[in-house]
A and B are shown apart, each in its own frame.
Chain A
Amino acid sequence: MEDLRERVEKCLGPKGLVVAMTECRGDLSVEVPKARLLDVMHLLKDTPDLEFDFLSDVFGVDNLAFYEKQKPKKKPEGEETEVKKEKGPPPPRFEVIYLLLSLKRTERLQVKVRVAEDDMEVDSVTSIWKAATWPEREAFDMFGLRFKGHPNLKRLLMWDEFPAYPLRKDYPLEGRGEERHLVYGE
């Protein structure tokens, strides 16, 4: 049996579905294009020698500090028009990470998509794994990620009228003094 990295590569690579692949302490992580997320997930679930049939978790990540650092800085004066640009455009600010597990092979895989700040829509994977409903609601609640096709995208932990997304890095830990008031029907 080839190792997991080669099998994933063989399954997704020819279709151009791999953006990057990293391995850290034995955990494989593959980044895929956001627009093709559902195709990737279907492939990972149904390909005979992968069979990731179990979704452990879905969560968001806010890379604010990293994102700000990579943003091209505005030059104060026009004396030096040459801006250092070896790194290309800044990476999208948010990530959504899916932790997959294959119960048959007891292998784990981390799938990552990057989400830009101005386009927070991601396809929901609830049509593939029902288990995604609550974690996706949590990611919506905490980061404001919008999962397209989710059957019931409401806040999970904070109350419905809560005005912010508290796990974003620009939200203060102690909050902005929000209070809950119960609204009764007329």
Chain B
Amino acid sequence: MGEDIQAYNGGGWIATKLEWLINWGRKRSPWPLPYGTACCGIEMMCALASGYDMARFGAERPSFSPRQADVLIEAGTITLKMVPILKRIYEQMAAPKWVIAMGACACSGGVFRTYSTLQGIDRVIPVDVYIPGCPPRPEALLQALGMLIKKIEKSHPILHKRYSDFLVGY
């Protein structure tokens, strides 16, 4: 009996519960930064609008300022001309931050295997969830958001800090 109680005492218990609380807060409000650069952007707008209503899952407010966004939804083709701008937007986002690569173009360059197209945004920024499709349906984006929420639930913001968390000295 005494040993059992001891197991629930001490710093470990507090850290775990605190992590649960932080994750609970984060997963309920993954504010997206809509970064639609091509046709997939239209599908993303559709998912944000009232028909599919992404706000049901906490993506309440599309944040057009990277500093107030948590999830970068990269929907569309990234040209090489655009790469420095994408990097800068990612770096401007405050940690913790996540990235959804939406559509074949964002995942791998899609049909555009050419001199002007980036062959997948994971070559320049880290990606958490990939959505295949050309373009993916809004349901797919909602599913991706659900997967991202599960990922946030499982993260350990105190015990295992992500590299991006270190950047702000969290």
Interface residues of chain A, those whose CB is within 8 Å of chain B, are 157-159, 166, 171-176, 178-182
Contact = CB atoms under 8 A, between A and B. Distances in A.
A171 B115 CA distance: 9
Which applies to chain A's interface (DSSP): helix, strand, loop or mixed?
loop
Complex A-B, nearest 10 residue pairs according to Cβ-Cβ distance, in ascending order: A175-B115, A182-B84, A159-B81, A166-B115, A180-B80, A180-B81, A180-B84, A173-B114, A180-B83, A174-B113
Contacts of B16: none
A166 B84 contact: no
Nearest to A159: B81
29 contacts: A157-B81, A157-B116, A158-B81, A158-B116, A159-B81, A166-B115, A166-B116, A171-B115, A172-B115, A173-B113, A173-B114, A173-B115, A174-B113, A174-B114, A174-B115, A175-B114, A175-B115, A175-B116, A176-B115, A178-B115, A179-B80, A179-B83, A180-B80, A180-B81, A180-B83, A180-B84, A181-B84, A182-B84, A182-B88
Given A158-B116, A171-B115, A173-B114, A178 B80 contact: yes
Interface string B133-149: 00000000000000000
B49 to A, nearest CB: 31
A181 to B, nearest CB: 7
Contacts of B116: 157-158, 166, 175
Interface size on B, as a range, is under 10
Contacts of B80: 159, 178-180
A145 B114 CA distance: 22
A172 B113 CA distance: 11
Contacts of A159: 80-81
Interface in B83-118: 83-84, 88, 113-116
A171 B114 CA distance: 11
Contacts of A182: 84, 88
A178 B117 CA distance: 11
Nearest to A181: B84
B135 to A, nearest CB: 23
Residue from the set A172, A174, A181 with the largest chain B CB neighbour count within 10 Å = A174
Contacts of B81: 157-159, 180
Contacts of A178: 80, 115
Nearest to A167: B115
Contacts of B113: 173-174
A172 B116 CA distance: 11
Contacts of B115: 166, 171-176, 178
A172 B88 CA distance: 29
A176 to B, nearest CB: 8
A166 to B, nearest CB: 5
Given A166-B116, A182-B84, 20 more contacts: A157-B116, A158-B81, A158-B116, A159-B81, A166-B115, A171-B115, A173-B113, A173-B114, A173-B115, A174-B113, A174-B115, A175-B114, A175-B115, A175-B116, A176-B115, A178-B80, A178-B115, A179-B83, A181-B84, A182-B88
A158 B79 CA distance: 9
B102 to A, nearest CB: 23
